[in-house]
Amino acid sequence: MSLAARAVYRLASRVSTLNLRPKPARHASRPTHSAGGHATRRRALGLALTPLIIASSSSAASGSNAMPETYPRPIVVPPPEGGATTAVCIFLHGLGDTGHGWADVASSMPFEGVKWIFPTAPTIPITLNGGMRMTGWYDINDLSIDNIKDDRAQTLASTEYVQGLIKAEIDGGVAANRIVVGGFSQGGVIALQTALRFPERLAGAVGMSTYLALREDFPDAMSPHAKDLPVFLAHGTADMVLQYQYGVMSSELMTDTLGMTKVDFQTYQGMGHSACQEELQQLAKFIANVLN
């Protein structure tokens, strides 16, 4: 059985652990999957907070929150069975969440030799939520495509922080092309910025229910290695936080405008601002393929 097949088998056998329920996928002209009726990743979305805090979305506002006090220590899950680290996956949560919200992914995708790192964003005031302080990779002023404004300073500060995590792994002996960086919603924004700007070739990038921010910076800000960087993008058609059009727009920008040749955009019919089993299966396949 291949590495990808073993990963998907493990994932399917642990649906109860992930609090997800399987449903057959449907395919359209653009790869699509049905997620209607799926159970969502509640911890990942911060649903214990107010509904507005679900807005694990994008970017924004004045820049007054540009330099947060501190980034908490990340959650680190070593390779299964205590083996040596030969590859690293870094995954960033959405607004109002912490690294704990996605840490169960590591036990569902126990790739041999792969260490998982789940950073936690600093606690900052969020304009969209009336200035309430919560974990966020940057400030947000609005959710609509027409009105959202990039919080450039804090987006770049968080990008620099994640690039520092990658550099630390490289200094520790892991090759850059054995490192995957990804994230959900706001975390996906930072993951894409990190991967496109990083000076060395990474193994791949993941953006789930997210979009490419600071679009005016590209292609000038792109690393020479970004054009052939494998990228997994995924979005639900029923996303009422970051609407599906964000995903379509970002995919088209990366492929048509920036000339990126390995962008895989997956659509999940009926899925909201969440993750479903089909999406995580595709994620497992993507990671297995880029690390093979």
Buried-state track 266-286, b at ≥16 Cβ within 10 A, e below 16: bbbbbbbbbbbbbbbbbbbbb
Query: Is 142 known to be catalytic?
Result: no
The active-site residue, picked from 38, 93, 235, 273, is 273
- Tallying the residues shown for the chain, one arrives at 292
Query: Is 57 known to be catalytic?
Result: no
The active-site residue, picked from 58, 185, 209, 274, is 185
Query: Is 185 known to be catalytic?
Result: yes
Q: Where are the alpha helices (DSSP H) in the chain?
A: 3-13, 15-18, 42-45, 104-108, 152-171, 186-197, 244-252, 277-291
The active-site residue, picked from 97, 104, 151, 239, is 239
Q: Contacts by 280-283 with C-beta closer than 8 Å and gap 24+?
A: 280/11, 280/18, 280/20, 280/105, 280/108, 281/8, 281/11, 281/12, 282/33, 282/232, 282/234, 283/109, 283/182, 283/206, 283/208, 283/232, 283/234
Which residues are tagged catalytic? 185, 239, 273
